């Protein structure tokens, strides 16, 4: 008998970076990732996405309550925090909210931390929108680096995989081909890069008993 008698279920939690603001639904990185997993031989449903442009950690928490996804899921991803930074929240405000969301993500995975992965927050300061925002782009970078370092350390303690999409996003996120029409959100091409980085991690998680 096959290991999975039913299709695998995948829940993606986040904000504009997960819902794919400005791009086609099929180009969202969780959808691209599920397609790639399917091509690699996994039988997996289309991801259930709970994400909305502009959401902060607390707004995602409320959004999860409203959507009421029913676990357990075989794979859960979490990418959240850019809007906390945009609204000027300190790390000490962000981290407890992120930790609570991570606990919820693990719960949705049937209390299996080894089936959850977190993506780093991209640096929006490298985009044309960021350059013309009037904000200190150096401070944006420093704050997001601090957010990501704290999230990565928490994931390590919890046994959760961390996919660091920040370097490629910082290196290429300001290129015209990597931007949606608004000059802020990533294009389908950058979403594809994120899915490519997440793929070996997701495959490894799904291979665990």
Distance CA 34, CA 193 (A): 14
Distance CA 170, CA 172 (A): 6
Q: Quick one: which of 189, 98, 196 has its CA closest to 151?
A: 98
Local confidence pLDDT in tens for the 209 residues of the chain: 344 468 999 999 999 999 999 999 999 999 999 999 999 999 999 999 999 999 999 999 999 999 999 999 999 999 999 999 999 999 999 999 999 999 999 999 999 999 999 999 999 999 999 999 999 999 999 999 999 999 999 999 999 999 999 999 999 999 999 999 999 999 999 999 999 999 999 999 999 75
Q: Nearest 5°: CA angle at 74, between 73 and 75?
A: 95
* 93 token code pair: 């405000």
Say what the pLDDT of residue 208 is. Answer: 79
The residues, any chain, with a CB within 8 Å of residue 53's CB and separated by 6 or more, are 15, 16, 19, 21
- In this structure, the chain runs to a length of 209
Backbone angles phi, psi at 170, to 5 degrees: -70, -40
What is 10-207's CATH number? 3.40.50.1110
The answer to whether residues 8 and 75 touch, using CB atoms and an 8 Å cutoff, is yes
Say what the pLDDT of residue 2 is. Answer: 44
């Amino acid at each position: 008998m096959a290991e999975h008698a039913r299709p695998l279920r995948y829940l993606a939690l986040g904000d504009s970076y997960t819902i794919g603001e400005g791009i086609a639904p099929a180009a969202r990185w969780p959808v691209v990732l599920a397609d790639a997993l399917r091509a690699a031989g996994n039988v997996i449903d289309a991801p259930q996405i709970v994400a909305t442009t502009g959401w902060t950690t607390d707004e995602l928490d409320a959004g999860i309550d409203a959507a009421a996804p029913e676990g357990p899921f075989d794979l859960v991803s979490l990418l959240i925090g850019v809007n906390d930074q945009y609204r000027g929240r300190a790390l000490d405000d962000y981290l407890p909210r992120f930790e609570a969301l991570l606990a919820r993500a693990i719960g949705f995975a049937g209390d299996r931390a080894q089936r959850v992965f977190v993506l780093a927050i991209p640096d929006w300061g490298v985009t044309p929108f960021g350059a013309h925002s009037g904000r200190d782009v150096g401070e944006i970078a420093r704050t997001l680096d601090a957010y990501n370092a704290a999230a990565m350390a928490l994931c390590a303690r919890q046994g959760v995989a961390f996919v660091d999409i920040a370097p490629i996003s910082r290196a290429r996120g300001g290129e015209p081909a990597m931007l949606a029409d608004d000059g802020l959100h990533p294009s389908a091409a950058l979403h594809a890069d994120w899915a490519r980085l997440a793929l070996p991690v997701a495959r490894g998680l799904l291979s665990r008993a």
